[in-house]
Amino acid sequence: MSLPTPLSLSRRALLGLAAGAAVAIDRRVARADASLTFDELYGKVSVLGLEFSRKVKSLAGQEVRMRGFMAPPLKAEAAFFVLTEIPMALCPFCSSDSDWPDNIVVVYLDEKQTFVPPGQTIEVRGTLEVGSWTDPETGFVSLLRLRSSEFYTV
């Protein structure tokens, strides 16, 4: 039995490093397996208002990814924004959850990121939070949120 040559060790090390790099690069792609579209957010509208879909209820607390558009932020430096189904010229914040549009989701970022133009498609990944909640800092009311999020242009 012969001992491995230094070249074969280097080759193995290189292959190991390449595999590790591929995993690191694909981390953000593989991180969120569940995708969610705006059409899948609500099951129906009842006399009590919007009702979450079964899919949303099953994904609550899990990491999901969504595609959409960034609504114009109220201020340039913020750790949150509104993800919309279609590009919007004005920020769609509402005063109460009874007025909440069915095609927006509030996104809270892990870190402040540079905002993108309203017409640029983005993909957001974050933990889905479901239910009415009022942000204590801004007073904004939301029904659906993505927490610990990050986004990328697509």
| pLDDT single digits (tens) 51-74 | 999 999 999 999 999 999 998 876
Mean pLDDT of 3-19: 55
Residue with tokens 């490093």: 17
Distance (Å, rounded) from C-alpha 21 to C-alpha 99?
Answer: 46
CB neighbours (10 Å) of residue 64?
A: 21
Full-model pTM: 0.72
Could you write out the DSSP letters of every residue in 84-110?
A: ESS--SS----SSGGG--TTEEEEEES
pLDDT digits (tens, 9 = 90+) for 70-92: 988 766 677 899 999 988 765 55
Instruction: Report the residue count for the chain.
Output: 154
DSSP state of 119: T
